[in-house]
Chain A
Amino acid sequence: MNEMVITRAEREARLEGMGCKRKRVEDVRFTQGKGQYVDDIKLPGMLHGDFVRSQYAHANIKRIDASKALALPGVVAVITAEELKPLGLHWMPTLAGDVQAVLADGRVSFQNQEIAFVVAENRYIADDAIQLIEVEYEELPVIVDPFRAMDPDAPVLRPDLAGKTTGAHGPRKHHNHIFEWTIGDKSATDDAFANAEVTIKELISYHRTHPSPLETCQCLASFDKIKGELTLYGTFQAPHVIRTVASLLSKIPEHKIHVIAPDIGGGFGNKVGAYAGYICSIVASIVTGLPVKWVEDRMENLSTTSFARDYHMTTEIAATKDGKVTGLRVHVLADHGAFDSCADPSKWPAGFMNIVTGSYDFPVAHLAVDGVYTNKAPGGVAYRCSFRVTEAAYCIERAMDILAQKLGMDPADLRMKNFIRREQFPYQSALGWEYDSGDYHLAMQKAMDAIGYRELRAEQKAKQEAFRRGETREIMGIGVTFFTEIVGAGPSKNCDILGVAMFDSAEIRIHPTGSIIARMGSKSQGQGHETTWAQIIATELGIPADDIMIEEGNTDTAPYGLGTYGSRSTPVAGAAIAMAARKIKNKAQMIAAHLLEVSEYDLEWDIDGFRVKGNPERVKTMKEIAWAAYNSPPPGLEPGLEAVNYYDPPNMTYPFGAYFCVMDIDVDTGVAKIRRFYALDDCGTRINPMIIEGQVHGGLTEAFAIAMGQEIKYDEMGNVQGASFMDFFLPTAVETPHWETDFTVTPSPHHPIGAKGVGESPNVGGVPAFSNAVNDAFGFLGTTHIQMPHDAWRVWEVARRLGLHG
């Protein structure tokens, strides 16, 4: 075909740029089993590490005897806190300003806590050795319930903090208290409640769960004694941060540490922080001079590395009789487990919980969060959400339903009445955020029309009557949710991790023949960056996405970035990509002007090159410009065509959405069937609609799991219950409902391409939609709030309490 007759639409399509449903390029290797994960990497002489873990939730360790293990052929070393002490590595700092024992230092504070690290020639020998290590314990009283943690006579859970009346985030009120964090105008809020016509108050708990990526946490440390260099492969969502932390802890200079995050099988917040396994592998490699691999098994993953949620939110709304909200007051009791190893930006001990005013125009609000220690695993990570945003969304969305019920109003109508209006953006929330953009009424109306909301309510009413007449044993629930997220951490003025500002970065290099390699500080764990980042560049620079190679995860080659979590990659790294591309484009324009012998100002961009204004036949494509950039640049201009951008976002972005869940509950078994689930998302500019849809499907599946039964539970002795996929609910294709997706587009005004991030919206918005549906189903029988998770037996117990079983 003749190049000349290609239409503009065809030129555009050839780029597979933004807006294109480009197929995921990484799937070519993933679907053929050719991904390269940490456990696929095998180095010569590699040893394997594995942990001796605590049987008890709280105990003093009287004695550790490893002599039998050390006598087992193939065992190379057994490391305990005693061995780490001289290196100062038996404790490590956490991202939340606390310290955490790397290996138990005379005491264990949660079940399965790491006590000793066995290094052996293979995994089997390591596990055999573990059985041979004798640990003598002296059991101590256990605190499992966070509501008991600050009892006057509660056992001291952190003797290492004795006498410390101040923590990283201010005064400590009790020996098991970590921090109190407050925000908002307390007296104005109290006034609003004092003068309110209607108020509601409810303890809304969000139970403990776990991100549970399919690939568990793992690493491979290889120390080169001759060069004094450490190479660390790992499942890191934030490889550069790991490098900095590793350097600070090990004193190995940062340029001598090579952190490589290869393909990652899901992260969901589980792989942001630093774990004992990393430190011990590094130490073991330094000591033995051999590479040491550590791979968590499923039970270790579920029971030790980073749980999520465990927030107990006492929530109050003040309102007028006709349903206008006038104040919000929330107190959170946050269970952080044995150590505060939350992965939040350092100044935010409760993450962005202050997004709890949600999508509503609250004139005043006040939030207080108390963090406490318990004898449970540490963590509190953002499981597919931006730092406590799921907790906040669940809190406000549940509370709005409770208010609607009290007022006798339809929950959708109540939301419509209180939404922040389009013309109020940029909107200053009562708890300190500036919402960038939104059109909530439009999105909600579109969603209600699409699902046939009023008809569903009519059907529900008829079913309720039939139920009362004894004609059916099913009740119907309609879950309404309208969430607003805050993502894209974040502006250096308020976001850092251990002092490192939360910018992100991109480096784009165009080769002479017009193809591209680009590297980012972000790190995909399944999000599809290799696909979408290329699409941004394709549109910005007019080079087909297929000619663009994206590389992430190698800290030697990638520019420094803060990694991928909290839906921050598109808002921050995505912006850096666009900005770097624009630098290149500026230079390209100079080169094009030189080649076309016109002034730069006489040129205009047209899909894949520059053309002379008013003379569209005279063009230079980006490919031609790339060749010239290296071989015949304009006099005085340095050759080459590449750029780096570090992007410090001016604000967060605020994606939002309207989700509806329709469910039918069998009151005799408690089993809930999801009839429909409709999700409308507004994530601003849409880079790849197919990937967005995939992200929404995945996040909704997680939300379904969490709301309907996924839980990390403990008995009263602090024994973790059901930390395997037999009990921990990970839905298969059979259980997963069918998802209907939809969208509106409200670009972010401050983001270079207007994109907001979407990966976490479905988890954030999905959980309240499911929970509200369960609550909505039972509401007509007199319930106000039913705690999650809504697994069948708990739902049945509600029916039992209501006397529905005759």
Chain B
Amino acid sequence: MIPGPFVYHRPASVGEAVGLLAAHGEDARPFAGGHSLIPMMKLRMAAPSHLVDLAGISDLATIRDEGSTVVIGATVTQAALIRSDLLAARLPILRETALQIADPQIRTKGTLGGNVANGDPGNDMPALMQCLGATYVLAGPDGSREVAARDFYEAAYFTLLQPGEILTAVRIPVPPAGHGYAYEKLKRKIGDYATAAAAVVLTLDGSTVASAAIALTNVASTPLFAEEASRLVVGTSLDAATVKAAAEAAKAITDPATDGRGTAEYRREMAGVMVARALVKAADRARTGA
């Protein structure tokens, strides 16, 4: 559990960082909180010879309110997400999710950008970003582009991020005031990745679901946007049969691996349970305004 040798860089701007990454190609890696990358380096599952630390780029560490969109810089830590009054008011599900990531030490270092760029299906933020319909801003040698979170993930550790690119920000459309939300995560202990988790954001029109988005964490090689399940609940009063049908639809798109958290069957079933519980909690919150 000792990493191999590497050169450490600390650029002061996005341009400089992109330049370094381009210069060193496949041998270089962006380095943010280090709480996914360093464990992999210690196991020698990753052996980058150049680390480009993003911590020196101050404009990546801000949270901006642009009205209908909130823009979160890539190096904003999970702890900062939890502390933000802006997010607490407008995107409370971010705080609820961040609080279920790892432990306080890790959240103090781990960043939103690292969490979503990492490509580990165990990360919690990617599914949440899919649920919220967020887009990622990617900067590369040829300038900047935007990719929807729902399109970004290809397989475990494979994303649309190109070598030489860094993720600079996440743009999140703000759900309407009074929306209901829940992030339900089943895990074995503090510091564990999800056995299965579900993110739900919905709005009600009276007692009828007007809009809904459901996404799943760690039950496939990528995060999953549960399109069919989301569609099923819209227009219903979220009665027990609908909740069950949505859970079934969500389960149907999962393909979990058997691991220490349980068998594939268990983890698939838990995805269903988490969806059902998140739906009920989200609707409850929308109803009561909690």
Residue ranges of A at the interface with B (Cβ–Cβ < 8 Å): 123-124, 126-128, 131, 297-299, 668-671, 709, 713, 721-722, 725-727, 729, 731-732, 734-735, 791-793, 796-797, 805
Name the contact of A668 in the complex, choosing from B3, B4, B195, B273 (C-beta under 8 A): B273
Would B188 and A127 count as touching, CB distance under 8 A? no
Q: Which residue of B lies closest to A734 (CB)?
A: B190
Are A123 and B2 within 8 A (Cβ)? yes
> Do A128 and B5 touch (CB < 8 A)?
yes
Query: In the complex, A713 Cα to B190 Cα: how many Å?
Result: 21
A residues in contact with B170, CB < 8 Å: none
State how many angstroms separate the Cβ of A701 from the closest Cβ of chain B. 12
Given contacts A668-B273, A792-B195, A805-B269, whether A735 and B262 have CB atoms under 8 Å apart is no
Per the bound structure, the CA–CA distance linking A725 and B260 in Å amounts to 11
A contact face: mostly helix, strand, loop, or mixed: loop
Q: 1/0 per residue B186-205: CB within 8 Å of A?
A: 10111111010000000000
CB proximity of B122 to chain A, nearest CB, Å: 10
Residues of A contacting B44 in the complex (Cβ-Cβ under 8 angstroms): 131
Are the C-beta atoms of A793 and B262 separated by less than 8 Å?
A: yes
Rounded to whole angstroms, the CA-CA distance of A669 and B269 in the bound complex is 9
Query: Known: A668-B273, A722-B260, A727-B260. Is A792-B188 also a contact (CB below 8 A)?
Result: yes
Q: Which residue of A lies closest to B262 (CB)?
A: A793
Given A131-B44, A298-B1, A299-B1, A796:B262 Cβ within 8 A:
yes
Closest to B273 in A: A668
Q: Interface on B for A, CB 8 Å cutoff?
A: 1-5, 44, 103, 186, 188-193, 195, 259-263, 266-267, 269-270, 273
Contacts of B192 in A (CB 8 A): 726
Q: Known contacts A127-B2, A297-B1, A299-B1; decide if A791 and B273 are in contact (CB<8 Å).
A: no
Q: Which of B3, B260, B266 contacts A721 (CB 8 A)?
A: B260
On whether the beta carbons of A793 and B266 are closer than 8 Å, the reply is: yes
For A128, the chain B residues whose CB sits under 8 A away are: 4-5
Give the nearest-CB partner of B258 in chain A. A793
CB distance from B39 to the nearest CB of A (A): 9
Within 8 Å by CB of A669, from B2, B193, B270, lies: B270
Known: A729-B188, A735-B190, A791-B262. 7 other contacts (CB 8 A): A131-B44, A297-B1, A669-B270, A722-B260, A732-B103, A734-B190, A791-B188
Within the complex, what minimum Cβ distance (angstroms) separates A87 from chain B?
Answer: 28
- In the complex, chain B residues whose CB is within 8 Å of the CB of A721: 260
Contact A729 B261 (CB under 8 A): no
CB of A94 to closest CB in B, whole Å: 27
* Contact yes or no, A669 B186, CB < 8 A: yes
Query: CB distance A732 to B190 under 8 Å?
Result: yes
Q: What chain B residues lie within 8 Å of A734 (beta carbons)? A: 189-190
A797 vs B4: C-alpha distance in the bound complex, in angstroms? 42
Closest approach, in angstroms, between the C-beta of A725 and any C-beta of chain B?
8
**Which chain B residues border A805 with CB–CB below 8 Å?**
269
Give the residues in chain B near A729, CB-CB below 8 Å: 188-189
Specify which chain A residues have a CB less than 8 angstroms from the CB of B190 in the assembled complex.
Answer: 732, 734-735
CB distance from A48 to the nearest CB of B (A): 10
B228 to chain A, nearest CB (A): 22
A793 touches B2 (CB 8 A): no
Contact A796 B1 (CB under 8 A): no
Contacts of B195 in A (CB 8 A): 792-793
Q: A127-B2, A299-B1, A732-B103 are in contact. Are A792 and B262 (CB under 8 A)?
A: yes
Q: What are the residues of chain B within 8 A of A669 when measuring CB–CB?
A: 186, 270, 273
Q: A128-B5, A668-B273, A669-B273 are in contact. Are A731 and B262 (CB under 8 A)?
A: no
Please give the distance in Å from B272's CB to the nearest CB on chain A.
9
Enumerate chain A residues within 8 angstroms of B188, measured Cβ to Cβ: 709, 729, 791-792
B271 CB, min distance to chain A CBs, angstroms:
12
The residue of chain B having its C-beta at the shortest distance from the C-beta of A708 within the complex is B188
A132 CB to nearest chain B CB (Å): 11
**What is the CB-to-nearest-CB distance from B144 to chain A, in angstroms, rounded to a whole number?**
36
Q: In the complex, what residues of B have CB within 8 A of residue A735's CB?
A: 189-190
- Give the CA-CA distance A123 to B1 in the complex, in Å: 10
User: With A and B bound together, what is the CA distance between A735 and B266 in angstroms?
Assistant: 21
Q: Name the residue of chain B whose CB is nearest to the CB of A730.
A: B189
> Closest residue of chain A to B47, judged by CB?
A131
26 cross-chain CB contacts under 8 A: A123-B2, A127-B2, A127-B4, A128-B4, A128-B5, A298-B1, A299-B1, A668-B273, A669-B273, A722-B260, A725-B191, A726-B191, A726-B192, A726-B193, A727-B260, A729-B188, A729-B189, A731-B189, A732-B103, A732-B190, A734-B190, A792-B188, A792-B262, A793-B266, A796-B269, A797-B266
Looking at the complex, which one of A131, A671, A793 makes contact with B261 (CB distance below 8 Å)?
Answer: A793
User: Is A124 within 8 A of B2, CB to CB?
Assistant: yes
Nearest chain A residue, comparing its CB with the CB of B267: A793
- Contact partner of B191 among A297, A709, A722, A732, CB < 8 A? A732
Contacts of B259 in A (CB 8 A): 722, 727
Q: How far is the CB of A177 from chain B (nearest CB, A)?
A: 32
Q: How far is the CB of A405 from chain B (nearest CB, A)?
A: 27
Residue of A nearest to B193 (CB): A726
For B263, give the chain A residue with the smallest CB separation.
A793
B37 to chain A, nearest CB (A): 16
Bound together, the chains give a CA A722 to CA B192 distance in angstroms of 13
Q: For the complex formed, measure the closest distance between the CB of A166 and the CB atoms of chain B, giving whole angstroms.
A: 41
- A317-B190 Cα distance, complex, nearest whole Å: 41
**In whole Å, how far is A717's beta carbon from the nearest beta carbon of chain B?**
15
Tell me the minimal C-beta distance from B279 to chain A in angstroms: 15
Residues from chain B with a CB closer than 8 A to the CB of A131 are: 4, 44
Q: Which residues of A contact B191 (CB under 8 A)?
A: 725-726, 732
A297 neighbours in B (Cβ, 8 Å): 1-2
Known A-B contacts A298-B1, A669-B273; the reply to A796 vs B189 at CB < 8 A is no
CB pair A732–B1 under 8 Å, yes or no, is no
Kindly state the separation between the CA atoms of A735 and B192 in the bound complex, as whole angstroms: 12
Complex Cα gap A541–B270 (Å)? 63
Report how far A725 CA is from B190 CA in the complex, Å: 11
B173 CB → nearest A CB, Å: 32
* Nearest 6 interchain pairs by C-beta: A793-B262, A127-B2, A727-B260, A297-B1, A793-B266, A722-B260
